[in-house]
Amino acid sequence: MARPETWSPSPRTAAADYSGEYSGFDPLEELELCPTPDLPYSYAYVPALYLAAFAVGLLGNAFVVWLLARRRGARRLVDTFVLHLAAADLGFVLTLPLWAAAAARGGRWPFGEALCKLSSFALAATRCAGALLLAGMSVDRYLAVVKLLDARPLRTPRCALAACCGVWALALLAGLPSLAYRGLQPLPGGQGSQCGEEPDDAFQGLGLLLLLLTFALPLGVTLFCYLRISRRLRRPPHLGRARTSSLRIIFAIESAFVGSWLPFSALRAVFHLARLGALPLPCPLVLGLRWGLTIATCLAFVNSCANPVIYLLLDRSFRSRARLRPCGGAGRAARRISSASSLSGDYSSVFGSTSCSWGRAQQAHPIPGRRVAAPDRWG
């Protein structure tokens, strides 16, 4: 009985783009070891999905950045993380029209090598920034819920800004391999060029290391923080429904990111191992890997527009701001207060109360002889 044909890539095998599709063959290669046709009709629905994610993500994330950046006065800690996360998603979605155009042309890249490298760098850097910012947000929630006053010296605006700057520095470093090893690769049959990675073992090893450092490690930190938070929520004194509502919104953001990027990261790890020769694959599995990466890439790219949708569905304050609902004098006073909340003050909203309800509550239930303070700025 003949053994099934296996695929173990070598430097003379095809490179791969972000969807896992082989982007070119060495001209000396006369035989394609494992023929793997494109996913049926991917030239139609993949670009449509990318363009839809671009439209929603551009409007939603730009609105979030505008909403948070225009705030004057003190800003709560989670504001900083949400602002930088929206900026990372905004940078990500700006590249989607380029990939949509290439997908509609059957993978052919019409924009030249410079844009290929820059857009690949932007994808890698912003994905890394998003994962690390979410991990930082999880650590902040852990300190606020579990450590409480013990973590007060660490939970300052200066520390939050320094953490975000450190995240961007690491993200830029994580994008450098894409800048160095990605470029135009010839498509089989001389049908043009595709934006893909060079078939280099060094890049495959770097790819595995980056998956560990920019996805697996932040995911481990996030899981640890939320396990500890869930244990704290089950013990008295209870945090109350408003605080758990804020946590629910942030947990939804984390879950959307993990659910979107986990399939892509897992399949990319398998791909890197296969190209290094550590995991020979039968040809049917190569086809499944390629098609799976195409679908997983769509799912991962759509995550760039997910956060504004989550805010719109779960955050009443964000819905009010999105509708431009006037708040009167209380709303004008609120503009001097931070827009994003945490576990103190207005906990029920990631973007903080529009302060219509907060201002009305002060007017309806004043405390004689005592001035009611605004929500804690360190949330």
Closest listed residue to residue 16, CA positions, set 292, 219, 257: 292
In this predicted structure, the answer to whether residue 339 has a pLDDT above a threshold of 50 is: no
Q: Return the pLDDT at 246.
A: 67
In this predicted structure, the answer to whether residue 199 has a pLDDT above a threshold of 60 is: yes
- The rounded distance, in Å, linking the Cα atoms of 240 and 24 is 57
- The rounded distance, in Å, linking the Cα atoms of 323 and 345 is 23
367 versus 132: which is more confidently predicted?
132
Cβ proximity of 181 and 131 under 8 Å: no
Architecture of domain 38-314: Up-down Bundle (1.20)
Domain boundaries, the chain: 38-314
In this predicted structure, the answer to whether residue 359 has a pLDDT above a threshold of 80 is: no
pLDDT bin (cut points 50, 70, 90) of residue 196 is confident
In this predicted structure, the answer to whether residue 178 has a pLDDT above a threshold of 80 is: yes
Cβ proximity of 15 and 185 under 8 Å: yes
Q: Return the pLDDT at 283.
A: 79
Question: Omega into 47 within 30° of 0, i.e. cis?
Answer: no
- Summarize the confidence of residues 345-352 as an average pLDDT: 51
- Token look-up 């996805």 returns 215
- The rounded distance, in Å, linking the Cα atoms of 200 and 181 is 8
Cβ proximity of 267 and 296 under 8 Å: yes
- Token look-up 């001035």 returns 371
- The rounded distance, in Å, linking the Cα atoms of 259 and 358 is 35
Q: Return the pLDDT at 143.
A: 87
pLDDT bin (cut points 50, 70, 90) of residue 33 is low
pLDDT bin (cut points 50, 70, 90) of residue 360 is very low
Host H or E run for residue 214: none
- The rounded distance, in Å, linking the Cα atoms of 251 and 379 is 16
pLDDT bin (cut points 50, 70, 90) of residue 342 is very low
pLDDT for 220-238, tens place per residue?
A: 999 999 888 888 877 766 5
| DSSP of 15-51 | EE-TTS-EEE--TT--S-SS--PPPTTHHHHHHHHHH
Q: What percent of the chain has pLDDT over 90?
A: 34
pLDDT for 90-117, tens place per residue?
A: 999 999 999 999 999 988 999 999 999 9
Q: Return the pLDDT at 31.
A: 28
In this predicted structure, the answer to whether residue 61 has a pLDDT above a threshold of 90 is: yes
DSSP 4: P
- Summarize the confidence of residues 120-124 as an average pLDDT: 94
Q: Return the pLDDT at 374.
A: 38
190 versus 160: which is more confidently predicted?
160
- The rounded distance, in Å, linking the Cα atoms of 184 and 207 is 19
Tokens for 105? Answer: 């042309």
Closest listed residue to residue 36, CA positions, set 202, 281, 278, 279: 281
pTM for the model: 0.78
Q: Return the pLDDT at 174.
A: 93
pLDDT, averaged across the chain: 76
Cβ proximity of 240 and 345 under 8 Å: no
Describe the crossing of helices 283-302 and 241-275 by its angle, rounded to 10 degrees.
150
Q: Pick the range with the lowest mean pLDDT from 51-65, 91-105, 231-245, 248-262.
A: 231-245
- Summarize the confidence of residues 169-180 as an average pLDDT: 93
Strand pairing partners for 194? 185
Long-range contacts of 231-234 (CB under 8 A, 24+ apart): 232/145, 232/146, 233/145
379 versus 249: which is more confidently predicted?
249
Q: What percent of the chain has pLDDT over 70?
A: 71
- The rounded distance, in Å, linking the Cα atoms of 308 and 121 is 24
Tokens for 247? Answer: 């946590």
- The rounded distance, in Å, linking the Cα atoms of 377 and 379 is 6
